[in-house]
Amino acid sequence: MPQTPLELLRSTFGFEAFRGHQAEVIDHVVAGGDALVVMPTGGGKSLCYQVPGLLRSGVAVVVSPLIALMQDQVAALRQLGVRAAALNSTLDLAEAAEVEKAIRLEELDIVYVAPERLLTDRFLHHLDHCRVALFAIDEAHCVSQWGHDFRPEYLQLTLLHERYPDVPRIALTATADHQTRRDIVDRLALGSGRIFVAGFDRPNIRYRVAPKQDARSQLLRFIEAEHRGDSGIVYCNTRRAVDETATWLTGRGIAALPYHAGLDRADRAAHQDRFLREEGLVMVATIAFGMGIDKPDVRFVAHLDLPKSLEAYYQETGRAGRDGLASDAWMVYGLADVVRVRQLIEGSAAPDTQKRLERQKLDALLGFCETVQCRRQVLLAYFGDSCEPCGNCDTCLEPPEVFDGTEVAQKLLSCVYRTGQRFGAGHVIDILRGRDSERIRQLGHDRLSTWGIGKELSANQWRSVVRQLLASGLLVVDPDGHGALHVAAECRAVLKGERRIALRREVSGRPAGKSATSRSAVIEDGDRALFEELRALRRRLADEQGVPPYVIFHDSTLADMAQRRPGSRQSLANVSGVGGRKLELYGDAFLEVITHHQSMARVS
Ligand code: ADP
Ligand code: ZN
């Protein structure tokens, strides 16, 4: 009796219902149709090909460029009792031959292959002689030169369509932009297939941006207050900042590891591996880290430096909370960051068109940082999506105070103008605040009409005003490297009082980046102890098998268990993420921990 997709979802994966477009996609592919699936990270793309792969006869071939991710997926599928294997450069000849034989004998349900492997005559020859359920092309944006992850081998994947015209193909990506999507359809010849696009919102991620004061201490306070013992990623722009931050955190009792392209390969691999397998590690990294990290329980992503663009920010923060549980995207940024990035763009040798594009991207990013609107709305609008004010970002939770900043903007702009547009923010702010220093007197700046006219704001508040005027393009940074501020042509209207400027008020003294509202915890306090016991059991089981803990059960499954406290196999089966095979393998062990915990609770 063939199973329906829903029956398979329940029996094998232990999930109750499909999410979003999953059911539609699966029906379409099971029936033999081609598809492009665009879903945000954590949206549940894997099931879209795994379920049809299991329901259709023959082996499902999954093309993936990311070896670490492949191994994880295979380990996770095997835990479910699915016959899965991976074919990539980590296998020796004998192991590879073993997998190929299994394919020929139709003893595999799902095989993951690196693209260069798939395209060899040898592999295609094997495929010619067996039934193929489908081709899934994961990370399909790699086919586009437009994005950052272009892989030339992906261009040759059209061959699949020509050689196996009857086998359905499903391409999957989390990339939001239209150009990439068009490239995928064109280059993989998916024109006659269906396109499924999910919304880009990641509702479980809380977005927060705070002014940078002392980035490391701010980070430490954030981790200590909200993420003790959690896994997280901290992004820095330079290798040196990565090394220093990791050492600094470790010295303060937060287990942290560095990751950047300057470490040797073995160290990098070892650090990545520890991050995946251990719980509660913080990875401090450059953007070299993250591609293909499928760890579901990353509870926060912190940026100590500005990311390259909103796309990059969205992708990097998207690594938090794949399991759907509450997670944080936390960033600090300051005036120096804005000045640095502006200089990088203006000073580069890139052609003008490229610079214009980069300027636009930076403006969008700064607009996001300085917004007084819901951050999620700004982010989604950038990707052509929309939402209501979300209630789960800093501007929603603690609406910033907005004031009519026309007058302070005028003061700042005219001070920049009167000093000949030759000085950086620090000096200009000193003049406005009426500082009486040797340098100021030497330059005669104490005799300017703008000297001392800005005492109503603190230096920090002035920096915030500078940032906001830079974000809105009224001020410009000189590209020469000294960070001198210039006024833009558009500021005339402001100086004449024809255009009013709204600014957000920097609240001095507010503990930076610490949200006053306590977040919805992954687990209720009363269930915490049992949850930790369940995690300890999971860690033991994972160590025994040499797999990451989340391959046994996700945190969300353990949280559900700790809350429901099932007393029998039957009720344990109702917990989300407990399928038939895991029930059999691990059910009794977890039930025992729960029962024991309950009886201890009764005694005390
Ligand atoms: P993506 O590849 O789109 O980033 P995944 O396929 O890794 O996302 O799925 C993200 C998480 O959501 C995984 O932990 C997965 O087990 C879970 N998940 C996916 N679909 C469902 C569902 N229908 N019910 C419950 N959990 C699901
Ligand atoms: Zn919001």
Ligand 1 pocket test, pick from 37, 47, 82, 323 with the greatest ligand atom count within 8 Å of Cβ, gives 47
Task: Kindly give the number of the ligand 1 atom that is closest to the alpha carbon of 576.
Answer: 25
Fold of 523-603: DNA polymerase; domain 1 (1.10.150)
- Nearest C-alpha to atom 14 of ligand 1 is from which residue? 323
Distance, CA of 14 to CA of 11 (rounded, Å)? 6
- Nearest C-alpha to atom 20 of ligand 1 is from which residue? 44
Domain 5-197 has CATH 3.40.50.300: yes
The three-state secondary structure class of 137 is: strand
Q: pLDDT per residue over 369-418, tens digit each? A: 999 899 999 999 888 788 999 999 999 999 999 999 999 999 999 999 99
Q: In which band, very low, low, confident or very high, does the pLDDT at 72 lie, cut at 50, 70 and 90?
A: confident
Is residue 330 within 8 A of residue 307, CB to CB? The reply is: no
Is residue 362 within 8 A of residue 310, CB to CB? The reply is: no
Q: Dihedral (C-alpha) 56, 59, 60, 61: value to the nearest 10 degrees?
A: -160
Between the alpha carbon of residue 176 and those of residues 6, 38, 337, 418, the distances in Å are 28, 8, 26, 45
Q: Is residue 312 predicted with pLDDT exceeding 80?
A: yes
What lies within 8 Å, CB to CB, of 443 at 6+ separation is none
Written as one string, the DSSP assignment of 521-561 is: -SS-GGGHHHHHHHHHHHHHHHHHHTS-HHHH--HHHHHHH
Q: pLDDT per residue over 269-303, tens digit each? A: 999 989 998 889 999 999 888 876 778 999 999 99
Question: Cβ of 435: how many Cβ atoms within 10 Å?
Answer: 16
What is the predicted pLDDT for the residue at 511? Answer: 43
- Nearest C-alpha to atom 17 of ligand 1 is from which residue? 44
Q: Where are the domains of the chain?
A: 5-197, 205-397, 402-504, 523-603
Fold of 402-504: Arc Repressor Mutant, subunit A (1.10.10)
What is the predicted pLDDT for the residue at 481? Answer: 66
Residue type at 124 in one-letter notation = L
The rounded Å distance from CA 358 to ligand 1 centre is 34
Nearest ligand to the C-alpha atom of residue 25: 1
Distance, CA of 29 to CA of 133 (rounded, Å)? 10
- Nearest C-alpha to atom 23 of ligand 1 is from which residue? 18
Ligand 1 pocket test, pick from 322, 552, 555, 560 with the greatest ligand atom count within 8 Å of Cβ, gives 322
Nearest ligand to the C-alpha atom of residue 320: 1
Distance, CA of 432 to CA of 162 (rounded, Å)? 70
Average pLDDT (13-38) is 95
Report which of residues 348 and 33 the model is more confident about: 33
Q: pLDDT per residue over 532-559, tens digit each? A: 999 999 999 999 998 899 999 999 999 9
Written as one string, the DSSP assignment of 385-454 is: ---S--SSBHHHHSPPPEEE-HHHHHHHHHHHHHTTT---HHHHHHHHTT---HHHHHTTGGGSTTTTTT
Q: pLDDT per residue over 489-528, tens digit each? A: 889 999 999 999 999 987 654 444 444 444 546 778 889 8
What lies within 8 Å, CB to CB, of 244 at 6+ separation is none
Ligand 1: residues whose CB is within 6 Å? 15, 18-19, 22, 39, 41-47, 296, 322-323, 554, 576
Question: Cβ of 348: how many Cβ atoms within 10 Å?
Answer: 12
Q: In which band, very low, low, confident or very high, does the pLDDT at 1 lie, cut at 50, 70 and 90?
A: low
Task: Kindly give the number of the ligand 1 atom that is closest to the alpha carbon of 554.
Answer: 14
Gap between the terminal Cα atoms of the chain: 51
Q: pLDDT per residue over 203-212, tens digit each? A: 999 999 999 9
The rounded Å distance from CA 530 to ligand 1 centre is 25
Check: pTM over 0.85? Answer yes or no: no
Distance, CA of 360 to CA of 540 (rounded, Å)? 50
The rounded Å distance from CA 81 to ligand 2 centre is 41
Is residue 184 within 8 A of residue 304, CB to CB? The reply is: no
- The rounded radius of gyration (Å) of the Cα atoms in the chain is 27
Look-up of token digits 């937060």: 254
The rounded Å distance from CA 11 to ligand 2 centre is 38
Task: Kindly give the number of the ligand 1 atom that is closest to the alpha carbon of 174.
Answer: 3
Q: What percent of the chain has pLDDT over 90?
A: 67
Q: pLDDT per residue over 140-172, tens digit each? A: 999 987 766 788 899 899 899 999 999 999 999
The rounded Å distance from CA 79 to ligand 1 centre is 16
Q: pLDDT per residue over 557-588, tens digit each? A: 999 999 999 999 999 999 999 999 999 999 99
Between the alpha carbon of residue 498 and those of residues 58, 167, 414, 494, the distances in Å are 71, 64, 15, 6
Report which of 458, 511, 522 is spatially closest to residue 219, judged by C-alpha positions. Answer: 511
- Nearest C-alpha to atom 15 of ligand 1 is from which residue? 44
Tokens representing 576 are: 């989300």
Q: Is residue 124 predicted with pLDDT exceeding 80?
A: yes
- Nearest C-alpha to atom 25 of ligand 1 is from which residue? 15
Between the alpha carbon of residue 318 and those of residues 168, 315, 322, 447, the distances in Å are 29, 5, 8, 52
Q: pLDDT per residue over 211-225, tens digit each? A: 999 999 999 999 999
Nearest ligand to the C-alpha atom of residue 77: 1
- Nearest C-alpha to atom 18 of ligand 1 is from which residue? 44
The rounded Å distance from CA 207 to ligand 2 centre is 8
Report which of 94, 100, 111, 123 is spatially closest to residue 50, judged by C-alpha positions. Answer: 111
14 Rama class: left (phi>0) / alpha (psi -120 to 50) / beta: left
Strands 231-235 and 282-285, by their bridges, are parallel
Tokens representing 404 are: 């009519």
What is the predicted pLDDT for the residue at 513? Answer: 44
Task: Kindly give the number of the ligand 1 atom that is closest to the alpha carbon of 9.
Answer: 23
What is the predicted pLDDT for the residue at 147? Answer: 65
CATH number of the domain at 205-397, out of 3.40.50.300, 3.10.28.10, 3.20.20.70, 2.60.40.420?
A: 3.40.50.300
The rounded Å distance from CA 381 to ligand 2 centre is 13
Distance of CA 398 to the CA centre of its chain: 24
Report which of 176, 130, 139 is spatially closest to residue 157, judged by C-alpha positions. Answer: 139
Task: Kindly give the number of the ligand 1 atom that is closest to the alpha carbon of 550.
Answer: 14
What is the predicted pLDDT for the residue at 521? Answer: 61
- Nearest C-alpha to atom 12 of ligand 1 is from which residue? 44
Distance, CA of 53 to CA of 525 (rounded, Å)? 41
Q: Is residue 194 predicted with pLDDT exceeding 50?
A: yes
Whether 205-397 and 5-197 are alike in CATH topology: the answer is yes
Nearest ligand to the C-alpha atom of residue 14: 1
- Nearest C-alpha to atom 13 of ligand 1 is from which residue? 323
What lies within 8 Å, CB to CB, of 57 at 6+ separation is 131, 133
- Nearest C-alpha to atom 10 of ligand 1 is from which residue? 42
Q: What are phi and psi of 227, to 5 degrees?
A: -135, 35
